[in-house]
Amino acid sequence: MDSNVRPESMQRITTEALANAFIDEQVKAIKEQVGDKKVLLALSGGVDSSVVAALLIKAIGKQLVCVHVNHGLLRKGEPEQVIEVFRNQMDANLIYVDAVDRFLDRLAGVAEPEKKRKIIGDEFIRVFEEEARKLEDIHFLAQGTIYPDILESKDGIKAHHNVGGMPEEFDFELVEPVKLLFKDEVRVVGKALGLPDNMVYRQPFPGPGLGVRCLGAITRERLECVRESDAILREEFAKNGLQGKVWQYFTAIPDIKSVGVKDGKRYEGYPVIIRAINTKDAMTATVENVPFELLEHITDRITHEVEGVNRVLFDLTPKPIGTIEWE
């Protein structure tokens, strides 16, 4: 039977008991596949890679080598959370790579969205390859492939492997313990493994990260504006019961300035665009009806707390005609 086909008899994982049964089954399978060899994993901090990391740590402990690459395009607090959860709490064999400068230097002056995506993907492979070359006796590569990735790859929509372009000389065997699960099942498994809610129920986040929310050519100034305004938005949505209710919400900042007034003087600053949408399949999306009073409060916080910003806009566009991300 094709190992990439989910059996019709496979029960949907909806409870902690079913998740624990799956975990026990996978721990046994991982031990049988890996033996006493080492496994390499690119740990982004996203749901899928985090659940795979926790599962492998449970199965083989420090035989797993996690590499977390900080490319400077993550949301506020995310690199620190990866270190806290996996190195400090789970005692993982974690390699942290600060690659912020090399990513942002390569992206300097690049405004075209697809070029930005390619640079980010290419540089990630370069960094990951460099770290892999430093390690000895790695025989396996773990990936957070999930079942929708496989289904979409069959239709030619995308390649389902999360880490592509590794040199052939590495010749790693793949370990993909959640490849037959849907996203909601992965979350149930992550919860059963003890991962924190804000990691398990993390919003969908684009591969290029904040690189496609800092619109146009990325500058460090606007990147920090995106990061800080996004943190305020997430904090206020959590305080006001919208976290978990709204499928995705974030800020984006275009490469334009407008005139404002600050401390009685003319002040030019960037606008922050708030996007808050709901969807079931990401093919269509509706705009969340955020209370006006909350939007006023968020606007007050962003314009007073984020340096370089003087306006806040709310995106009312559904999909279609607008896509979820701006780039």
More confident residue, 286 or 132: 286
Strand residues in the chain grouped as ranges (E):
38-42, 64-70, 93-98, 138-142, 173-175, 248-252, 258-262, 265-278, 286-287, 309-314
Which residue type is seen at 228? E
Domains of the chain, earliest start first: 16-200 (3.40.50.620), 213-314 (3.30.300.10)
Instruction: Report the Cα–Cα distance between both ends of the chain, in Å, rounded.
Output: 40
Mean predicted confidence (pLDDT) in 13-27: 97
Residue 225: what are its φ and ψ, rounded to 5°?
Answer: -65, -45
Residue bearing tokens 């270190």: 83
DSSP for 33-94? HHTT-EEEEE--SSHHHHHHHHHHHHHHGGGEEEEEEE-S-SPTTHHHHHIIIIIIIS--EE
Per-residue confidence (pLDDT) for residue 155, from 0 to 100: 54
* 250, two tokens: 């974030």
More confident residue, 281 or 124: 124
Does position 21 have pLDDT exceeding 50, yes or no? yes
CA distance 313 to 295: 9
Which residue type is seen at 87? R
CA distance 169 to 297: 55
DSSP 8-state secondary structure symbol assigned to residue 255: S
Reduced to 3 states (helix: H, G, I; strand: E, B; else coil), residue 23 is helix
Per-residue confidence (pLDDT) for residue 103, from 0 to 100: 97
DSSP 8-state secondary structure symbol assigned to residue 311: E
Query: 283 pLDDT band (50/70/90 cuts)?
Result: confident
* Lowest-pLDDT choice from 29-43, 194-208, 232-246: 194-208
* CA max distance for the chain: 72
Mean predicted confidence (pLDDT) in 148-162: 60
CA distance 187 to 239: 22
Per-residue confidence (pLDDT) for residue 158, from 0 to 100: 44
For 204-235, write each residue's pLDDT tens digit. Answer: 888 899 999 999 999 999 999 999 999 999 99
Per-residue b or e along 157-182, where b marks 16 or more CB atoms closer than 10 Å to that residue's CB: eeebbbbeebeeeeebeebbbbbbbe
For 251-273, write each residue's pLDDT tens digit. Answer: 999 999 999 998 889 999 999 99
What sign results for the dihedral spanned by CA atoms 151, 152, 156, 160? negative
Per-residue confidence (pLDDT) for residue 198, from 0 to 100: 85
Mean predicted confidence (pLDDT) in 134-146: 91
Looking at every residue in the chain, the average pLDDT score rounds to 91
Per-residue confidence (pLDDT) for residue 151, from 0 to 100: 82
| Portion of the chain with pLDDT greater than 90, in percent | 76
